């Protein structure tokens, strides 16, 4: 039984370390505004040997139309996206140039 306590403590710490970044990310982004955007282009960028799926979008914010290039998509492919399709994004309340895809 004495050997079980350190193992359980280690497992609890590893679980907390795995969950904590996701909780902090969610807490930071919950104040961001959800805005519908329109896809302008979906493509792969290859910096080095890795292909990154990226999306260019336009959206309206405070009466202005904004265009943002190179939003990273966490899904592996962009073939299911077509220009003109709607996609939700999160926009920072401080600076509307800062935005991420709401996936």
- pLDDT one-digit tens code per residue, 35-76: 999 999 989 888 888 888 889 999 988 888 889 888 888 776
> Does one domain contain both 19 and 37?
no
How many domains does the chain fold into? 2
Q: 């899904």: which residue's tokens? A: 75
Average pLDDT on 20-39 reads 79
> Does one domain contain both 11 and 57?
no
> Does one domain contain both 13 and 60?
no
> What 3-state DSSP class applies to 103?
coil
> Does one domain contain both 16 and 41?
no
| pLDDT at residue 100, rounded to an integer | 85
> 99 vs 29, which has greater pLDDT?
99
> Does one domain contain both 38 and 26?
no
> Does one domain contain both 55 and 13?
no
Structure tokens at 79: 């073939």
Domain limits for position 52: 33-101
> Does one domain contain both 61 and 91?
yes
Are 36 and 59 in contact, with CB atoms under 8 Å apart? yes
- The answer on pLDDT for 25 being more than 70 is no
- The answer on pLDDT for 26 being more than 70 is no
> Does one domain contain both 24 and 64?
no
- Nearest alpha-carbon partner for 56 in 99, 103, 93: 99
Task: Give the global pTM.
Answer: 0.66
């Amino acid at each position: 039984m004495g050997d079980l306590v350190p193992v359980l403590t280690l497992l609890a710490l590893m679980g907390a370390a795995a969950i904590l970044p996701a909780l902090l990310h969610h807490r930071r982004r919950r104040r961001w505004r959800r805005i519908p955007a329109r896809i302008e282009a979906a493509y792969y960028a290859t910096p080095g040997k890795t292909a990154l799926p990226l999306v260019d979008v336009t959206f309206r914010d405070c009466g202005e139309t904004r265009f943002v290039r190179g939003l990273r998509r966490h899904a592996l492919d962009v073939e299911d996206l077509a220009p003109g399709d709607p996609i939700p994004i999160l926009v920072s309340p401080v600076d509307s140039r800062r935005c991420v895809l709401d996936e």
